[in-house]
Amino acid sequence: MPVGFSIAQGNTETNSYRRPLWRLFQDARRNVDFVGSRRENNGGPPPDPDFDLDHEGYWGWRADEVLAVIDAAARAHRPDVALVHLGSNDVFAGQDNGGTLQELASVVERLRAANPSVTVLLAQLIPTSRPGRDSQIVDLNARIAGLAARLDTAASRVVVVDQYSGFDAARETRDGTHPNAAGEAKMASRWYAAFLTLPR
């Protein structure tokens, strides 16, 4: 279950990382089923609707807004693995990182309530070129690593996925925030690498 905001959803001009990630799974002949309550990108279908379209991405939403709807989606689909990339919009709105971290912990708890053995791939956020905001993302990412370490258990793994390091916001985003095709491919490769570390 891809969980997040605009970067997970995409729009009518961008597929999101979900398409290159789906292609990586297909090329490796891995039987993976994306799940979620949504199939549309923001404003309509993606430009290349030739992949599994199910997701739980919400354009412009903060972590607390996703938290308010994740219960129903998790109960309906009971994902085995959730890919969570949340918090950028919270930073842009000026929310304290401590509050965002609590909301991320609650997202993990809600996913576990639906499936006690769920694995959560918890992303450190990609960088932004928005003035004054990247330093807050760096701080939040450090806290996310600590959160993943605290929440990780043998029964329900929480694995941090570094989507920040080596990601060039100037070259790999369309607008300083949303990945372009190169950025989407980089995100997909990092999700996929984390997935490969999980036991089958």
| Average pLDDT value for residue range 49-67 | 98
Of 2, 7, 4, the residue nearest 186 (C-alpha): 7
What does pLDDT average to over the chain? 97
Q: Rounded distance, CA 89 to CA 5, Å?
A: 8
94-136 pLDDT per residue, tens: 999 999 999 999 999 999 999 999 999 999 999 999 999 999 9
Q: Rounded distance, CA 162 to CA 167, Å?
A: 10
DSSP characters over 106-142: HHHHHHHHH-TT-EEEEEEPPP--STTTHHHHHHHHH
Whole-angstrom Cα Rg for the chain: 15
Quote the pLDDT of residue 157: 97
Tell me, yes or no, if the pTM score tops 0.95.
Answer: yes
Rounded to 5°, the CA angle 124-163-137 comes to: 45
How many distinct structural domains can be found in the chain?
Answer: 1
Judged by DSSP in three states, 41 sits in strand
Cβ distance 176 to 160 under 8 Å? no
Domain CATH for 100: 3.40.50.1110
Kindly state the percentage of the chain with pLDDT values over 70. Answer: 100
Quote the pLDDT of residue 20: 98
| Average pLDDT value for residue range 140-164 | 98
User: Is 90 exceeded by the pLDDT of residue 194?
Assistant: yes
Quote the pLDDT of residue 199: 85
User: Is 80 exceeded by the pLDDT of residue 200?
Assistant: no
Residue 139 is part of which domain span? 2-196
23-52 pLDDT per residue, tens: 999 999 999 999 999 999 999 999 999 999
